[in-house]
Structure 1
Amino acid sequence: MDSFAVFGNPIKHSKSAVIYALFAHEIGISKEYNLKLAVQDNFNYLLHNFFNLGGLGANITSPFKENAYFLCNQLTERAEKARSVNTIKKLKNGTLLGDNTDGIGFISDLKRINWLDNNNQITSHEEPITNILLIGAGGAAKGILPILLTTITTCHINIVNRTFSRAQELTSYYQEIGYKNISCLPLYKLRYNTNKYSLIINATTSNIHNTIPKIPYFLITPDTKCYDLFYTKQDTLFITWCKKNGSNYCSDGLGMLVGQAAHSFFLWHNIFPTIDPVINHLKSVFYM
């Protein structure tokens, strides 16, 4: 049977099947979409078995995006740069095409909530600021960095991470392939930093551990836009902290989740679904 699935661990919490069903209903197609729990020891086998038995497309979530990168026969440019894959399409010749739609989903959401203007500049109610602070250097950060660097070209990106060597590795990689608007610094040095940031992105798993990234409160101004890639029913801990310290512009990652899923759907079906009704449905069903 023609089918689609999402692979991850944990997976029960995933909204991917619901999102796919809503997109499919809008377009008028009927395809099976399942949740697949995997572990490191069997992920490769389960993924190949899925496609061998008729699977047409797969989403890959934590912690298998980097594994999936090495299992694909072909890669899109954004997957190649991110060195991780969250979407796979089985081509007509049987080979697997790997893509990463996290970044384009993120940018789509920034535009949806009017944080990016038509020229891909970060909107500001004060004088223009050209710095982005990216907290985290793991898979989530890797997924959004390529499109951040190529889309918001007037901004400089600072990466901070609990383990500084990972931030250094990520920064060096992008500098080596030609991007000069990226740098990193140790987390503790933020307390001495005089930069103002127009956008602060939490790409860590701090919410899972009921913590927040240890960044200075004075980095937050009323005009600072604070985006948490994580999402919960209520404000995430990071968003709660940002609001407490004065930010008037905060968003969680639900819109990005639906946005990246829409771009996956487009890769599979060559039709782009409508995003807003799905976001509203998820908020009404799962957030109330």
Structure 2
Amino acid sequence: MSSFAVFGNPIRHSKSAEIYALFAHEIGISKEYHLKLAVQDNFNYLLHNFFKLGGLGANITSPFKENAYFLCNQLTERAEQARSVNTIKKLKNGTLLGDNTDGVGFISDLKRLNWLDNNNHIASHDKPTMVTSILLIGAGGAAKGIIPMLLTTITTCHINIVNRTFSRAQEITSYYQEIGYKNISCLPLYKLRYDTNKYSLIINATTSNIHNTIPKIPSFLVTPDTKCYDLFYTKKDTLFITWCKKNGANYCADGLGMLVGQAAHSFFLWHNLFPTIDPVINHLRSALYM
């Protein structure tokens, strides 16, 4: 039985095992890490059986993060607020602790990119504003994972959510407002054409790249100083990043750094040792071009 594993569907192209192996080699840990393909009908059974037979930790990827949330005995605050779990640790008493490292992994990557300054403001080469406006495109699991950390980390920020299905954006906005966050709102996608906000950070948290499309947002929202981040990553620039650059964005990044960042925080939860992130990002980036 492997000590660690990632559960998802699809799972064949997951980088989790490779990332874990690189971290483990650096730290000097020898543990197995396997890929576990699951479906909705057997995910709960496979996960419980994994831990019953000696598993120590698990990563959870799409589409099971919300399922995992309900299977844990304890939750970290960030998992509780995200209402989804991407990392589980089996505690010494046998109970399962659920965490969500997506948000902290995202913040780690913003810092790595020098997009956050020492005061946790979005770094700006333009005239600074009193409130950092963030446009979050998408209201699914990926968005839920990063919203709490954005709201609690970035100084004086306000998140505006747009989504193809507006009711979904309303639902997620209402949830965070109800638990005390007032600096979040939403609007229908078509109303962006009348939006006068100057966004410091635009995040694509949709699956548009999988469908070979880009979110339908007005190009005037992108300026040379706007930071544009796509949670997706590909061998070349994603379609969204290509579109942002075409419309004048000078600061663009894909989600590979976030992927490694969230994995590093999962590793820390399991082993209480934090691995080095940059060499792993560089390794994976080089491998994409091989």
Asked if Structure 1 and Structure 2 have the same fold, meaning a TM-score greater than 0.5 normalized by the shorter chain, the answer is: yes
Q: Paired residue for 2:36? A: 36
Runs (4+) of structure 1 exceeding 2 A deviation are none
Q: Which runs of 5+ in 1 are unaligned?
A: none
Q: Paired residue for 2:271? A: 269
Q: 2: distance between equivalents of 1:212 and 1:265? A: 33
Native 8 Å contact 2:132 2:199 kept in 1: yes
SS in 2 for 1:105: helix
C-alpha displacement at 1:153, in angstroms?
A: 3.2
C-alpha displacement at 1:267, in angstroms?
A: 0.1
Q: Paired residue for 1:70? A: 70
Say how many residue pairs are matched. Answer: 288
Q: Paired residue for 2:53? A: 53
Q: Paired residue for 1:111? A: 111
C-alpha displacement at 1:2, in angstroms?
A: 5.6
Deviation digits for residues 13-43 of structure 1 (CA, Å, limit 9, x no counterpart): 1000000000000000100000000000110
Native 8 Å contact 2:9 2:39 kept in 1: yes
SS in 2 for 1:156: strand
Q: 2: distance between equivalents of 1:203 and 1:93? A: 37
Deviation digits for residues 257-286 of structure 1 (CA, Å, limit 9, x no counterpart): 000000000000000000000001101112
Native 8 Å contact 2:199 2:221 kept in 1: yes
Comparing 267-276 and 150-159, the one that deviates more: 150-159
Comparing 278-287 and 143-152, the one that deviates more: 278-287
Q: 1: distance between equivalents of 2:146 and 2:241? A: 19
Q: 2: distance between equivalents of 1:119 and 1:39? A: 43
Q: 1:118 to 1:135 in 2, by over 3 A?
A: same
Deviation digits for residues 174-227 of structure 1 (CA, Å, limit 9, x no counterpart): 111111110000000000111110000000000000000000011010111000
Native 8 Å contact 2:229 2:254 kept in 1: yes
SS in 2 for 1:190: helix
Q: 2: distance between equivalents of 1:240 and 1:229? A: 14
- Asked if 1:179 corresponds to 2:185, the answer is no
C-alpha displacement at 1:148, in angstroms?
A: 0.4
Deviation digits for residues 36-88 of structure 1 (CA, Å, limit 9, x no counterpart): 00000110000001001100000000000000000000000000000000000
C-alpha displacement at 1:118, in angstroms?
A: 1.2
Aligned alpha-carbon RMSD (Å): 0.8
Instruction: Give the TM-score normalised by structure 1.
Output: 0.99
Q: 2: distance between equivalents of 1:51 and 1:177? A: 32
SS in 2 for 1:55: coil
Deviation digits for residues 228-287 of structure 1 (CA, Å, limit 9, x no counterpart): 000000000000000000000000000000000000000000000000000011011123
Q: Which runs of 5+ in 2 are unaligned?
A: none
Identity among equivalent pairs (%): 91
Q: 1: distance between equivalents of 2:172 and 2:2? A: 38
Native 8 Å contact 2:257 2:281 kept in 1: yes
SS in 1 for 2:209: helix
